[in-house]
Chain A
Amino acid sequence: MIAQILVDGITSGAMIGLGAIGLTLTYGLLRFANFAHGEFATWGAYLALLVAGAIGPADPLGPLTFGWPLLAALAASMVLTALLAAALDGVLFRRLRRHGSAITLVIASFGASLALRSALEFGFGPQPWYYTRDIAMTVRLGPGMRATWDQLAVLGLAIVLMLAMHLLMTRTPLGRAMRAVSENPDLARLAGIDPARIVRVTWLLGGALAASAGVFLGVTVQLRPSMGFELLLPLFAAAILGGIGSVPGAMLGGLIIGIAEAASVPLAGAQYRAAVAFVVMLAMLLVRPSGLFGGRGG
């Protein structure tokens, strides 16, 4: 039972963590809470559905329910969603940043979120979609511990993406520049870093990672227009838990939220799952508003 909670919690926690990385980065860099971030996950999932559909069917890979077309679609959708995120910044947020306050940006992002989601709902309808209708095969990992092969594959891919992100942030000049701008934009500019470029890169990365979270959610659950919006509260909770601006914090926060959600199911029932993130977040704000990894909250 406990073991099963861990398996479920870790898989969904990995997806929350992936989505929260982009959220915490834009939050730390631009100092505003982007309510449209969840929609990047939704759009990522649906864009992958379109691409995979265009490629056509293929044999599933081993025990998985999907084949190589979905992997290609994942890559394509990450690129497309990254462009969508950068475009949203260019059309809306960048202009508002120039004269509006941070809070005007939050309102605008709330509006963008509803518009993006409703546009998808108009296009695809409110009913759920699936990448395939195949039944997912499960494996026994230990006593009382089962996972689908899909879950394991998604978890593996998520870990690879997180590791890549971590290396990017710590080992490359680009990552160092991103952290420099986030900590002190003026100083970074003096050091010859172009903040506008860093902002663009942050949107691209955040959008791409959110898209991957959306595709993974689509593989393991289903696609619905509200999937990303429902992910938003866990994403914020993970970002606050880990400390705004901290990439490892977002991953750890995602994991904690995922496990807390899974653990709540036997206690309160699946229907209150989304409230768990809220409760964990409130508790964190009461005890340590700056998050586990410092950050700049409070």
Chain B
Amino acid sequence: MSGLASYACFFFTVALTYGVATLGLNLQWGSAGLFNVGVAGFAAVGAYAAAWLTAAPAAGHWGGFQLPIALGWIGAMAAAALAAAILGAITLRLRADYLAITTFGAAVTIELVALNAQTLTGGPFGIAFIPKPFEALADRPLAFGAANLALVAAVAALAYWALERLTGSPWGRVLRALREDEAAAASLGKAPDAFRLQAFVIGAALIGLAGAMQAQFFGFIAPDNYLPVLTFQVWVMLVVGGSGNNRGALLGALAVWALWSFSGTALAALLPGTLQARGAALRVVAIGVVLAGVLLLRPRGLIGERATVSRHISG
């Protein structure tokens, strides 16, 4: 019974970290129309930054600053934001799909660095012994799981609140205007690239935070965690939940993570032992088909975009 409860805690903890990443992507895509195919790259930047800042010194990799976890998360957000600022400054003035290609290229490059810059990242072995929040509770699994869940839920709620604030603000209004008619917005004095860059950077910071939280809950990171399939998962979460809607982003993360976990368990149970190793591939096919189906049959997702009105008007 308590085993089931701690599993539930773990499940929701992980799902909510994905939720935070999906919220970040939703700001970029849902609000600003920026197509980021490098989600995994920004998550990796956040995860490695947090690991360097908080873990104890070790021979295999750089870092070892043993800072408090909270500082590690802030550092992760800053690192991902910086990466986004550099990339965005080069590509945001270009046509939309060039951003897709360059973010994809950035993610591939980041994965290569994680894999090959051994002295920095620990190479293929990654970084282990990343401190977990509430380590003192580690011998009481249920309390430990519940505390972690409460922490990530608080972070997700804070992110949700902050984004709702933003989308209902004059800033969010400008983004909506830019999506509708960029020339008209520019004629009213709004600098399109500046607003888009801000959205891109804030979104990337949230994705970096999600990467950092996952690193900290798992206690271990390696380049394998940041393959394109991670980008894809987060995209599916957003598309399934309904882009342009923060609640949809969270719901999509939960639904798709449930589907992902369940399909993993099901494949493990159904496939003969010899095919187990390949089961993971089948899971990706399944989720790809789900995405295509949602795009074709329910392009607005489970919830769909909500009409936003500036906060102070209604209130």
How would residues 35 to 54 of chain B score, 1 for a CB under 8 Å from any chain A CB and 0 otherwise?
A: 10100000000000000000
**B158 at interface by CB-CB < 8 Å:** no
Across-interface contacts of B296 in A (CB, < 8 A): 92, 95-96
Are A298 and B292 within 8 A (Cβ)? no
Tell which of B96-104, B189-197, B205-213 binds the partner.
Answer: B96-104
Cross-chain contact of B239 among A107, A114, A125 (Cβ < 8 A): A107
Query: B120 to chain A: closest CB distance in Å?
Result: 14
Are A278 and B284 within 8 A (Cβ)? no
Across-interface contacts of B108 in A (CB, < 8 A): 233, 274-275, 278
**A289 at interface by CB-CB < 8 Å:** yes
Cα distance A79–B29 when bound, in Å? 37
**A71 at interface by CB-CB < 8 Å:** no
Across-interface contacts of B285 in A (CB, < 8 A): 114-115, 118-119, 122
**B94 at interface by CB-CB < 8 Å:** yes
Tell which of A9-17, A98-106, A172-180, A201-209 binds the partner.
Answer: A98-106
Tell which of B109-117, B143-151, B168-176, B253-261 binds the partner.
Answer: B109-117
Cα distance A286–B277 when bound, in Å? 43
Are B105 and A236 within 8 A (Cβ)? yes
Are B295 and A108 within 8 A (Cβ)? yes
Are A122 and B281 within 8 A (Cβ)? yes
Cross-chain contact of B292 among A108, A271, A282 (Cβ < 8 A): A108
Across-interface contacts of B236 in A (CB, < 8 A): 111
Across-interface contacts of A121 in B (CB, < 8 A): 278, 281
Are A110 and B235 within 8 A (Cβ)? yes
| Size category, B interface | 35 or more
How would residues 124 to 151 of chain A score, 1 for a CB under 8 Å from any chain B CB and 0 otherwise?
A: 0110000000000000000000000000
Cα distance A298–B92 when bound, in Å? 10
Cross-chain contact of A33 among B100, B112, B281, B283 (Cβ < 8 A): B100
Are A297 and B94 within 8 A (Cβ)? yes
Across-interface contacts of B277 in A (CB, < 8 A): 125-126
Q: Which residue of chain B is the closest to A289 with respect to CB atoms?
A: B94
Are A112 and B112 within 8 A (Cβ)? no
Query: B296 to chain A: closest CB distance in Å?
Result: 6
Cross-chain contact of A233 among B104, B283, B295 (Cβ < 8 A): B104
**A32 at interface by CB-CB < 8 Å:** yes
Across-interface contacts of A35 in B (CB, < 8 A): 37, 100, 104
Are A271 and B35 within 8 A (Cβ)? no
Q: Which residue of chain A is the closest to B115 with respect to CB atoms?
A: A271
Cα distance A117–B280 when bound, in Å? 12
Query: B41 to chain A: closest CB distance in Å?
Result: 11
**A277 at interface by CB-CB < 8 Å:** yes
Query: A141 to chain B: closest CB distance in Å?
Result: 31
How would residues 183 to 223 of chain A score, 1 for a CB under 8 Å from any chain B CB and 0 otherwise?
A: 00000000000000000000000000000000000000000
Are B97 and A274 within 8 A (Cβ)? no
Max chain A Cβ within 10 angstroms of own Cβ: one of B112, B113, B277, B292 = B292
Across-interface contacts of A112 in B (CB, < 8 A): 288, 292
Q: Given A107-B235, A122-B281, A274-B112, is A233 in contact with B291 using a C-beta cutoff of 8 Å?
A: no
Are A102 and B104 within 8 A (Cβ)? no
Are B292 and A114 within 8 A (Cβ)? no
**A76 at interface by CB-CB < 8 Å:** no
Cα distance A99–B297 when bound, in Å? 11
Cα distance A282–B98 when bound, in Å? 10
Across-interface contacts of B97 in A (CB, < 8 A): 32-33, 102-103, 106
Cα distance A282–B102 when bound, in Å? 7
Cα distance A117–B108 when bound, in Å? 17
Across-interface contacts of B105 in A (CB, < 8 A): 233, 236-237, 277-278, 281-282
Cα distance A118–B43 when bound, in Å? 22
Cα distance A96–B299 when bound, in Å? 9
Are B98 and A106 within 8 A (Cβ)? no
**A272 at interface by CB-CB < 8 Å:** yes
**A285 at interface by CB-CB < 8 Å:** yes
Q: Which residue of chain A is the closest to B229 with respect to CB atoms?
A: A114
Query: B145 to chain A: closest CB distance in Å?
Result: 31
**B133 at interface by CB-CB < 8 Å:** no
Query: A229 to chain B: closest CB distance in Å?
Result: 8
**B304 at interface by CB-CB < 8 Å:** no
How would residues 234 to 251 of chain B score, 1 for a CB under 8 Å from any chain A CB and 0 otherwise?
A: 011001000000000000
Q: Which residue of chain A is the closest to B233 with respect to CB atoms?
A: A114
**A252 at interface by CB-CB < 8 Å:** no
Known contacts A92-B296, A286-B90; 6 additional CB pairs below 8 A are A96-B296, A107-B239, A122-B285, A274-B108, A281-B102, A298-B95
Selected A-B contacts with CB under 8 Å, 14 pairs: A95-B296, A102-B96, A102-B97, A107-B239, A110-B235, A114-B285, A115-B284, A115-B285, A118-B282, A118-B285, A119-B281, A119-B285, A271-B112, A297-B98
* 7 nearest A-B residue pairs (beta carbon): A115-B288, A278-B105, A118-B284, A118-B281, A121-B281, A111-B291, A122-B281
Q: Which residues of B are in contact with A by a Cβ distance under 8 Å?
A: 33, 35, 37, 90-91, 94-98, 100-102, 104-106, 108-109, 112-113, 115-116, 228-229, 231-232, 235-236, 239, 277-278, 281-285, 287-289, 291-292, 295-296, 299
